[in-house]
A = this chain, B = another copy of it.
Amino acid sequence: MAEWQSTVTPTALARLLGTTPTTTPRPAYQRLATQIRTLVSQGRLPVGARLPAERELALALALSRTTVATAYETLRADGYLRSRRGSGSWTALPEGSRPPSDALHPVPPDESGRTLDLGVAALPAPQPYLGQAASRALEQLPAYAAGHGHFPTGVPVLREAVARRFTERGLPTTPDQILITTGAMGALHLARQALLSRGDRVAVEAPSYAHTLQSLQQDGARLVPVPHTWPGGPTEQPCWDTAEWQRVLRGAAPRAAFVIPDFHNPTGALVDEEQRRALLAAARTAGTTVIVDETLAELDWDTDTMPRPTAALDRAAQVVTIGSAGKILWGGLRIGWLRAQPSLIRRLANDRAFTDLGTPVLDQLIAAELLTEHLPAVRAHQHHRLRSSAYALAAALRAQLPDWQFAFPAGGLCLWLSTGPHSGSALAKAGDRQGLRLAAGARFGIDGAFEHHLRLPLTVTPADAPTAIARLAAAGPTGEDTPPPAL
């Protein structure tokens, strides 16, 4: 089992450093600084990762403490490290530098023409439904425009529509259990602030959504990764390792567990009700709050039997559910929500006075209109797009890169690709030169885990899929490859 860790352990960093080639025999501190900078630039050390204390790293690398201290000082001067008294040192990017080539941030519009962007896992809006819903929302706007437009908990029609949709999916819900947020990240941000303190242990799936891992680490949470398992082998559906979850919840009694049971990002895993029940039972015993990310739950494009929402199996009111219009409707609406006890909803609505004060009215009206009037059509539209993309990408991968393995998912937004001996970070970097923007697997892990993986979002059109995979094949092998870790 992985250690309880939110920081890069000396051993993990030493291992990562071992995979970074050095050329000239410069002073030892300069070599170390260069290696760490390379790891950060390639995204193999995530930005915001806490590095070992100087003394510990010196010990692990058999270097003098002065060498490590001078290397850290060099990195600080170059902007690759930030330190705070008492909190240690964290990886960073220099002001003004571009994010690493495999960053999850979108490509600026002026670049997107030349590049196939497989960094961002988000779809275009479903037209003509977005336009129709926006027109209807506009007709409702004057009634809202007569007031000051502040709705800390959300516009009532959207709270009602979201509650109704939860109820349809098998989880009876009232509007006072719903907080409308600025995207799912807005919901997670409020939950993190209200429920977690610096130093709290948080159990997370390994791998998991990159921004969630980074934001939890930035908050000072101590992450406890629980790996997915592939019981049928690497080309069959993954799921939770229930025994390991039980062991972690019993042993670490984490303050919270963050899970994505519905078409997990990035593996695509769809966890069944039995596993959900087992996790909830263990969490109840441990006193652990379960934060369920349902961002992808509506993307069931290849299955007719969806499990009920996790909170529907929750008898102890210990589940906080985060949802989003971002994947099924459109990311440009920036509409998310959080479902919890009404008392927590009211508290979070107060807390957000210090962050965004509320979510724009018009986008809430549009989301309510889409959920109420167009959801079946929108689901069919988006499901068709995702299914076509998934089959086209899978066919291209089997034809052009037959040795790279993946489990074909039943829904969700990505393929999780094992790149065999090839470094995903190096592939992402090489992909950039081929006009293919990629998210390296290491972005979804802690401490350089999943270095031999890539996440392929199902955002490429079927027509572009062969080109995308051809560029991927041209990107690797790269010469920067490293052997996969021993199991």
Contact = CB atoms under 8 A, between A and B. Distances in A.
Interface of A: 47, 84, 93, 95-96, 99, 104-106, 109, 112, 120, 122-125, 127, 130-131, 134-135, 138, 141-142, 144-152, 156, 182-183, 185-186, 189, 197, 211, 214-215, 218, 330-335, 342-344, 346-347, 349-350, 353-363, 366, 459
Identical subunits present: 2
A146 B95 CA distance: 31
Contacts of A342: 96
A346 B96 contact: yes
Contacts of A211: 353-354, 357
19 contacts: A95-B346, A95-B347, A96-B343, A96-B346, A104-B353, A105-B349, A105-B350, A106-B150, A112-B147, A122-B149, A127-B142, A131-B142, A183-B358, A185-B356, A185-B357, A189-B354, A333-B361, A335-B360, A360-B362
A122 B366 CA distance: 23
Contacts of A355: 185-186, 189, 355-356
A331 B148 contact: yes
Nearest to A459: B148
B95 A330 contact: no
A125 B145 contact: yes
Contacts of A332: 144-145, 147-151, 360-362
Contacts of A356: 182-183, 185-186, 189, 334, 355-356
Contacts of A185: 353-357
B149 A331 contact: yes
A145 B151 CA distance: 26
A124 B148 contact: yes
A141 B149 contact: no
A31 to B, nearest CB: 28
A293 to B, nearest CB: 14
A122 B150 contact: yes
Contacts of A361: 332-334
A127 B145 contact: yes
Contacts of A358: 183, 334
A99 B150 CA distance: 16
B134 A147 contact: no
A5 to B, nearest CB: 20
A417 B451 CA distance: 62
